[in-house]
Structure 1
Amino acid sequence: MTEYLKYQTDLSTLASVFDELTFWSARFGAMLFQHLRLSRGIDILDLGCATGFPLFELANVHGESCRVFGIDPWGDALIHAATKRDGYGIHNVTLIQGDGLQLPFVASQFDLIVSN
């Protein structure tokens, strides 16, 4: 049952194709965004943001007035996400390498928390 644990995976290579793995859920995520009624100027946390879905979509939908934070322990994915953030010119996203069990935020800071 744990046979899969014997195999090593190059996580830096996986990060470059990880966006394709979440492609199936993108349509459902877009439908969810249509039904969220959130005001401007909110703080959003994407817990386990990996390479940035739905992190960047939330940043774009809610605009520069909101602050969006992504946290993930996977460093290679965050490097990929930072490249995308900088390439898209998104300025309201902060990426943090960290663990969801020890969040570096004040309690009740966020108006919305998502995890894909």
Structure 2
Amino acid sequence: MTIENAAPAPAAPEKTSVLKKGRGFLIALSIAVGVAAVAAWIALGVGLYMDVSRQTRLILVVVAAVATEALFWSIAATLGLSVLEARKRIWRKITGRGRAEA
């Protein structure tokens, strides 16, 4: 005996990767870090214009550098790039290692 009017089984929910679920968060994080990096570079420029002390200038440079590095990493995470693998490929191209000898 079969029942032909039975409702079909519910479809399984789509499996999405963690990165796709968190893409909006990563974009917001990248924007926030970008704003912080721009602000850090503006602060460095203002500090240089005002001729601040060497210690203050060093602090401004370090903050700008760290903010810029954080921006690069957050953009790479947003784009889903494997930064370490990309660096390996770049170094292989530069040094010529890993190529088959002809």
- Give the TM-score taking structure 1 as reference length: 0.25
- Give the TM-score taking structure 2 as reference length: 0.27
Structure of higher CA gyration radius: 2
Q: Which has the higher strand share?
A: 1
